[in-house]
Each structure stands twice: as C-alpha cells, then as structure tokens.
Amino acid sequence: MLLEGGIPYVDFFDPLPPMGFYVHVVPVIFAKILGADRTTIFNVSVAALALYSACGLLLALPRLRPWNSWVAHILTVAAWTGFSVYIASLGWFGEREHLFILAYVPFLCCRLERHLNLPVGIVAALVSGFIAAPFMLLKPFFCFTAACVEAWLLIRSRRFSCLLAAETIVIAVWTVLYILHFFVAPAAMQHALIHEWLPHVIAYADLWNQPLTTFAFRSLPFLPYYMPFTIVFTLGALFLSLRMFWNLRIQVEALAWGLLVSYAMLLLQHKGWLYQTFPMLGFSILLTMTVVLAVLDPESAFEKPRWRISPRFRSAAFCAICLTLIGGSAAISAHRFVTRDTVRAASDQFVNFILEQTDPGDKVVWLSIGGDVACQSLIYTDRRQGARYPTAWPIAIFYRHSRPPKEGRFQFTHIDQTSGQERRYLEDMGTDIRKNRPKLIFIQSVQAPGLLPEGLIIEDYLEQTGWKERYMTEYMFLAKINGHSAYRRIK
C-alpha cells in the first residue's frame, strides 16, 4: 500500500513505528522488479540477512578469539545458523525480533573489536552500521538493548573514544534522518501519529497483558524449561568469566548483558509472545557456544585453569557438538515439513476460498482478531488489503476491561450512540469498505478466548451496532469458513 501512494497510519495502520513499513517494502520492490512472488523474495531476503550475519560472525571470530581453532569458529557459526533454522521451524522466519538480532550480531562483533583495541576495517564498520541501523530502529526495545550493551562495554573498557567510530556514526546518521523524516512527512501522517497513534499506544499498552508467572519461566518449542535454565546458566557464565582472560571475559559479559536486557524487555512488554523471546534466544546461543568452547580449552581461556582437557577429548567433544547441531537442525526441519505450521494449515482453507472467489488485484477485508491467518492468506493469494486496519483488533481495545452480562452475551450500543475512538473506528472501517469496495469480507463469528472478553463475538458486535446494515448492503453471505462468515460483493 505504501508503494501505491498510501500514507502510513492514514491509509493503513500498525501499532508499531513506521520503520517496519520501510524495511519490508524493500523485498516488495525487488519482487516487482523481478516479477517474482513476494513471499519467495521476502524469504530469500531474510535468508540473505542470515547469511550476512553468519559471514560477519565467521570473519570476526578469528580476531576476537585467535586462540580458538577454525573448527571452533565454524561450530559457533553453525550454531548461529541453526538459530534461523529453529525460527523457520516455528513459522516466524523474518519476524522483527529475528531481523534485529541477525543484523545486530555483526555490529556487536565490530563494537567488541573496538573496545578490545583491535583493528577494524572501514568497509566492515560501514557495512555493519548501515545494515544494523534500520533494524535497531524497528522497535524502541531494540535500540534500548543495543544501548545497554554499548554502555556496559564503555564501562568495562573505559575506551570512550570508541564512540566516535565509523559504525556508530552511521547509526547516528540513520537515527537523525529517521527522526527528521517525521517532520517532513505528509501532514496527514503527522496528525495521525500525534493525535491517534501515540495516544493509542500509550493508553492501550496493557492490551493482552499476561501475568508474569505465565511466561517469565516458560519453555520454548523443543526447548523445555528454557527460561529458568537460561537465566541460571547466564549467571553461572558471568561467575565463570571472572577467571577468564580479559579479552574473553568482556565478550562473555557483553553477550550475557544483552541476554539479560532482552529478558528484561520481555518482562516489561508483559505479553510473553513467542517471537519476543528471539533476541534472548540469539544471545543465549552465542553465549552457550562461547562458554562451552572456553571450558573445552581452559589453558587458552582461563588465567589459572583448574582442569585440563586432552586433545583427544576436545576433538570428541567437537564431534559431539557438530553431530548435535546437525541432528537438531535435521529433526527440527523434519518436524516443520512433516507436521506443517498450524497457522499455514488453517490459512489453506481461506487461501483456496479466496482464489476461487476473487481475481488478481482484488481486495479482501478481515474483521477478525487474529492477524496471522489474515496476513498469510493475503500473501499466499497475492491479494490486497481492503482496509486501513489489517484486522479488527481495536475492538479488543474498546472492551478489554468489559465483562459479559449474566446471560453470557454482550449487548452493544448502536453506532449512532457510540462516541470517541470506537465511533471513529466503525466509521473509518465503513469508509474503507465504500471506498475500496473489497471483493470479500471475512467476519469472525466465534469467540476468541484470550484475545477478546468471554462472550464477545465480532459478528454480533457489527450486527448490533448497525454497522453491517449500514455498510454491507452490497454484500451477500457465502459460507462459514473456520469460524468466519464470508461475504462477497454482489454489485
């Protein structure tokens, strides 16, 4: 929609800052130029970023840890590559948190070299800063994490002159330009950001909050008890680093600090969604490999090693790590392709229906609370979003503190009697329907436990408020599909 002249937060809305629009428009441009499928180009772009991250790590490790063998470096890079394989197995390949940590690791390596007073090539510095900057700016939490790690490195190394380096200058330029762009953006976008988006984000930051006990010590798929184990391991790694040589100690501290700050950001967001754990997971993989390799080579890692590892045992351990990485990646990949992602399986029903009922270029609107199936269905069918809101999540905001009456069903006020943001939302959605004339409209007709209050059904809401009667006169009911009512335009 951005490439078609749409204005962010006016013609299309997202609760996150606009850098996400600008980053994701790049693969769309390449898809248009190449005449290729957008999904394929996006996945290739993310894979290219993962390859860049792995190559940047592989080039930096010999300088950061010259005492390690090439086998150790390759194992570390293999583990880092396995991180993206794991993310892909979960169906979150290319999520913002995944993109951030991929772009950030080469930049972190560059910063570690600066603080260790190692030579840094100007090209490597410029490239790492140029690629890392936009992904850091995707979310404020990413900027804060990177800033905390940098602050810790400054405190430990006392090399404040490192702040004036090529990569940090590039980051600063990106940040200044990003801030300035808000002042030269279209007036409608500025007004929407100040008077609608910002108050919206501040007022409803608690939407879908979960008790800390439900996710603070959660497990991850294939990784039982991940959270508590990782926190204990990180604290143990920090204690162990006290006996390490300085060059290795500061690397362990940087990774551990990044992990702990990422964990704090997870708790601060109060959501516990799976993808929010990805920065923490990325740091933990690199920290684990760093500590394991140090334990296997104590003479090179510790000032006064208290144990010895024979070369034969070290070689056997390297083989075991290699087999574990290969076997784990193979098992995860097999699970991905055999069982398939549940969201993709659910979206297949909608994909087939959309392909049958619409033509290329037609628009589709989703009035449901879940965004995964809606977004995937539009991507896989190459259809266009027909309204500024990708889903009906504002309804969850309006009634987030409501409770159903005794009979278990909500009674809603007619649109003419509503006021404030609720009325504006209903009118904006109606305006989009009349203006864009989408071919299909999907309305959620079942409850959504955990996302909407018990007893609140979106189709009931739109009927009782009079929205359907007012804005869907040109649509007829077609079918029920996976908890949604499908309507098709007849005029």
Q: Provide the pLDDT for residue 321.
A: 82
Where the chain has pLDDT below 70, the residues are 1-5, 203-207, 332-347, 371, 404-409
Q: Buried (b) or exposed (e) across 201-213, using 16+ Cβ within 10 A?
A: eeebeebeeeeee
Q: Provide the pLDDT for residue 172.
A: 96
Please name the residues in contact with 352: beta carbons below 8 A apart, sequence gap of 6 or more.
none
Q: Phi first, then psi: what are they for 383, rounded to 5°?
A: -105, 165
**Token pair of 412, please?**
């809603």
Q: Provide the pLDDT for residue 11.
A: 74
Q: Provide the pLDDT for residue 3.
A: 61
**Token pair of 332, please?**
């995860």
**CB neighbours of residue 83 within 10 Å:** 22
Between CA 86 and CA 84 the distance in angstroms is 5
Q: Provide the pLDDT for residue 343.
A: 45
Report all structural domains of the chain as residue ranges with CATH numbers, in order of start. Answer: 19-339 (no CATH), 343-489 (3.40.50)
Q: Provide the pLDDT for residue 319.
A: 85
What pTM value is reported for the model? 0.88
Q: Provide the pLDDT for residue 347.
A: 66
User: Over the stretch 156-174, which tens digit does the pLDDT of each residue have?
Assistant: 999 999 999 999 999 999 9
Q: Provide the pLDDT for residue 339.
A: 53
Between CA 98 and CA 130 the distance in angstroms is 17
User: Over the stretch 19-62, which tens digit does the pLDDT of each residue have?
Assistant: 988 898 888 888 888 888 888 888 999 999 999 999 999 999 99
Q: Provide the pLDDT for residue 420.
A: 78
CB 95 within 8 A of CB 275: yes
Q: Provide the pLDDT for residue 317.
A: 85
Q: Provide the pLDDT for residue 236.
A: 94
Q: Which long-range contacts (CB under 8 A, 24 or more apart) does 472-478 make?
A: 472/433, 472/441, 474/437, 475/441, 478/357
Between CA 377 and CA 430 the distance in angstroms is 22
- For 36, 222, 313, 314, the CA distances from 320, given in Å and listed in that order, are 41, 19, 10, 10
Q: Provide the pLDDT for residue 151.
A: 96
